Amino acid sequence: MTLQESAASLNGAIALCIRREVKRHNLHANEFAVLQLFAKQEEWSATQLLDHLDVDPSRMSRLVAKMVDNRLLRRRRARSDRRVVHLTLTDLGAQLAEEISEQMEAHEAALLRGVGSRELAGFRSTTDKIEKNIKSLVESAD
């Protein structure tokens, strides 16, 4: 199996897990992605979210508005610059994000069933080397 085929297979398995959670919680894929980002950081601006999601600014605005309407996100304007909007999870959003995080951990455990710790360490080492090579390729292309 080529590297491309291996990556596609792994990506497909992860995408299947994500689709299950999106469907189970009646979310849009971008809403799911926003909730996952909040697991990494408590507060985001819409502009910061744009840096992590492949959506245009008007779509991001609609996405945030929908999540606010569904009581998943809370908006707060910055005092220093009223144009900047800070976003945080509501209690309902935090509960949903936690549940999704737990489910994704369960999916990951299922995907790694039968994979030994040495195998996983080797996989991570290989992945780190590939990422380093990607950075070198990008830098040499610039």
pLDDT at 46: 86
Amino acid at 74: R
d(C-alpha 16, C-alpha 86), whole Å: 32
Count of Cβ atoms closer than 10 Å to residue 73 Cβ: 23
pLDDT of residue 81: 81
- Domain boundaries in the chain? 3-111
Say which CATH class 3-111 falls into. Answer: mainly alpha
- Tokens describing residue 59: 């779509």
pLDDT at 23: 93
Contact indicator for 99, 91 with CB cutoff of 8 Å: no
Tokens describing residue 120: 């996983």
pLDDT at 80: 85
Q: Are 29 and 20 in contact (CB under 8 A)?
A: no
Query: Would you write out the chain's pLDDT as a tens digit for each of its 142 residues?
Result: 899 999 999 999 999 999 999 999 999 999 999 999 998 899 999 889 999 999 999 999 999 999 999 999 999 987 888 778 899 999 999 999 999 999 999 999 999 999 999 999 999 999 999 999 999 999 998 7
Q: Where are the beta strands (DSSP E) in 32-106?
A: 43-45, 73-77, 85-89
pLDDT at 39: 86
